[in-house]
């Protein structure tokens, strides 16, 4: 399977968001990554559901919604109305198995996310309930951070566990992705690359083609 691309909307030009969506469509992006932050679980605040709904209504790009919020099980039904992939943090205080099941029951693909200090082995038991796992290669909450190389070992551990058991679970990575780190992530076993500032701008087509070539 060729690597998929999930550009992070945080890096888009919000004054010209419709134009950005058309550009992403022209470049046949696989999905669009939405970081939902509440200022509690992470020290920043980003999009609310009304923006997500408007984007959903104006593009056919699948939406990859990453909930960086406290006790996300409280909001699954609401966000599931717009998401295609819906993910939350292992560390966020929700019942993990129950929340993953609810996401699937709502018709979305389920994703479980881990922060840099969480070991891959801590989520092995939940892999059968995950359509995707997201490995954070920076501390969640802010863009522009440097890639943490130790995240690659977690990707390798997850890849080995998924392949050994034949799970239909793909691996996504988010944080500090550029022309140097993207090849390392793919080599480690990543299926989906989230990238923000690296992709948005004049070189979007060129850089998407670079990632797809890996």
Give the residue from 158, 159, 139, 155 showing the smallest Cα distance to 147.
139
The active-site residue, picked from 35, 38, 64, 191, is: 35
Q: Would residue 35 show up in a list of annotated catalytic residues for this protein? A: yes
- Please state, in angstroms and rounded to a whole number, the distance separating the CA atoms of residues 72 and 20: 29
**What torsion, rounded to 10 degrees, do the Cα atoms 115, 119, 121, 124 define?**
0
The active-site residue, picked from 38, 64, 131, 174, is: 174
Give me the residue label for tokens 């004054």. 15
Q: Would residue 202 show up in a list of annotated catalytic residues for this protein? A: no
Residues known to be catalytic: 35, 174
């Amino acid at each position: 399977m060729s690597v998929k691309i999930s550009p992070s909307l945080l890096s888009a030009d919000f004054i010209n968001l419709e134009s950005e969506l058309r550009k992403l469509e022209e470049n046949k992006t696989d999905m669009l990554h939405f970081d939902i932050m509440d200022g509690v679980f992470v020290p920043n605040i980003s999009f609310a559901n009304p923006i997500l709904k408007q984007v959903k209504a104006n593009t056919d790009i699948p939406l990859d919604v990453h909930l960086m919020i406290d006790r996300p099980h409280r909001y699954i039904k609401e966000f599931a109305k717009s998401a295609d992939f819906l993910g939350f943090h292992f560390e966020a205080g929700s019942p993990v198995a129950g929340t993953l099941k609810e996401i699937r029951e709502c018709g979305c693909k389920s994703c479980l996310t881990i922060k840099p200090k969480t070991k891959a082995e801590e989520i092995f038991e939940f892999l059968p309930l995950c359509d995707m796992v997201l490995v954070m290669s920076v501390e969640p909450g802010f863009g522009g951070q440097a890639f943490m190389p130790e995240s690659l070992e977690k990707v390798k551990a997850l890849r080995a566990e998924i392949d050994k058991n034949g799970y239909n679970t793909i691996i996504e990575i988010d944080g500090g992705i550029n022309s140097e780190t993207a090849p390392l992530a793919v080599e480690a076993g990543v299926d989906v690359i989230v990238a923000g500032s690296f992709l948005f701008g004049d070189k979007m087509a060129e850089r998407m083609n670079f990632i797809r070539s890996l």
